[in-house]
Amino acid sequence: MEISNVTKKRIKEYLAEDKRFDGRKPFDFRDIKIEFGVSKNAEGSAKVTMGNTVVVAGVKIETAEPYTDHEEEGTLITTAELLPLSSPRFESGPPSIESIELARIIDRGIRESGFIDFHKLCIKKGEKVFGILLDIFSLNDDGNLLDAAGIAAISALKVAKMPKYDEKEDVISYGEFTSKGLPITEKTPLAMTFHKIGNKIIIDPTREEEETSEARITLALFKNKDKKDGVMITASQKGNDATFKIEELEEIFEKAKEKFKELNETIEEQVK
């Protein structure tokens, strides 16, 4: 539901003084809590609470045919469902543009970073591989679903366990797990979205701040030890109508690298 012009004006007035309604600074995240094992049937699952925004991600593993141009690699299919119970903005039915965009951004960040070693998911070249199904669901939308979904997706993948598989019979024993996790690397990807409100840039907006936002840009970053600063941008997605100035983008890139380290440490600590 749209917020009033009075609220939008007050948000801009607060940001002009580097303040936000909830007391945070422009580049502060809300408190992040990650819960694991929220689905007993999934190979891996995680529930992320970011302020009042709540997202769940689940991982299922199946056998599948490889893509014709990647015959020795496993597959990944990412879907997102923005449930009506999470916001009056969402409706039941076919996937919305917002849900498709969210799923594609998360999927792209995972693929392009090299977070999963898909070669190790090959069972028989050109015939059979393990396929990963990554499903994301919104439970409550109080802003920044995209970043919360990214954290939930990565967390679920990090704790996922391979199911028992009888290669001779080509049967997966669902509900029975091995001690072996997915072949993930240290290149942990995270989605980080920046919003422009007036002349100010903020991160992790509430629902009211998102409604006031004039432009947004999501960066997919991953941990890369080969880079001097240890972080690399692997994908980006622009949203909303307004534009960013060159100096604003430069500020965003630098802040993204700085906040990535903070966010990654938060996730690693809770995963352990």
Smallest CA-to-CA distance from 86 within 42, 56, 44 is with 56
Smallest CA-to-CA distance from 151 within 99, 101, 190, 125 is with 190
Which range in 48-52, 124-128, 254-258 is most confidently predicted, on average pLDDT? 48-52
Smallest CA-to-CA distance from 181 within 148, 158, 211 is with 158
Q: What is the share, in percent, of the chain residues with pLDDT greater than 90?
A: 71
Instruction: Tell me whether strands 200-203 and 189-197 are parallel, antiparallel or unpaired.
Output: antiparallel
Q: What is the pLDDT of residue 173?
A: 83
pLDDT at 235 over 80: yes
64/48 Cα distance (integer angstroms): 29
Length of the chain in residues, anyone?
272
Smallest CA-to-CA distance from 217 within 178, 256, 179, 247 is with 256
pLDDT at 11 over 90: yes
Q: What is the pLDDT of residue 144?
A: 96
Nearest 5°: the CA angle 240, 243, 248 is 120
Mean pLDDT of 143-160: 96
Mean pLDDT of 132-160: 96
pLDDT at 15 over 70: yes
What residue type is 184 in one-letter code?
I
Mean pLDDT of 49-70: 95
Q: What is the pLDDT of residue 229?
A: 67
DSSP bridge partners of 230: none
User: What is the pTM (predicted TM-score) of this model?
Assistant: 0.93
Q: What is the pLDDT of residue 1?
A: 56
53/143 Cα distance (integer angstroms): 6
Q: What is the pLDDT of residue 170?
A: 79
Least confident interval from 7-16, 150-159, 169-178 = 169-178
In angstroms, the first-to-last Cα distance of the chain is 39
Q: What is the pLDDT of residue 168?
A: 79
Q: What is the pLDDT of residue 230?
A: 77
How sure is the predictor about 178, in pLDDT bands with cuts at 50, 70 and 90?
A: confident
How sure is the predictor about 166, in pLDDT bands with cuts at 50, 70 and 90?
A: confident
How sure is the predictor about 224, in pLDDT bands with cuts at 50, 70 and 90?
A: confident
For residue 48, give Cα distances in angstroms to 96, 134, 199, 233. 22, 15, 30, 23
199/72 Cα distance (integer angstroms): 49
128/125 Cα distance (integer angstroms): 7
Residue 160: phi and psi, rounded to 5, are: -65, 145
Which range in 7-11, 136-140, 229-233, 242-246 is most confidently predicted, on average pLDDT? 136-140
Mean pLDDT of 165-172: 81
Q: What is the pLDDT of residue 47?
A: 98
36/42 Cα distance (integer angstroms): 11
pLDDT at 2 over 90: no
The two structure tokens encoding residue 248: 């604003």
All domains in the chain, ordered by first residue: 25-271 (3.30.230.70)
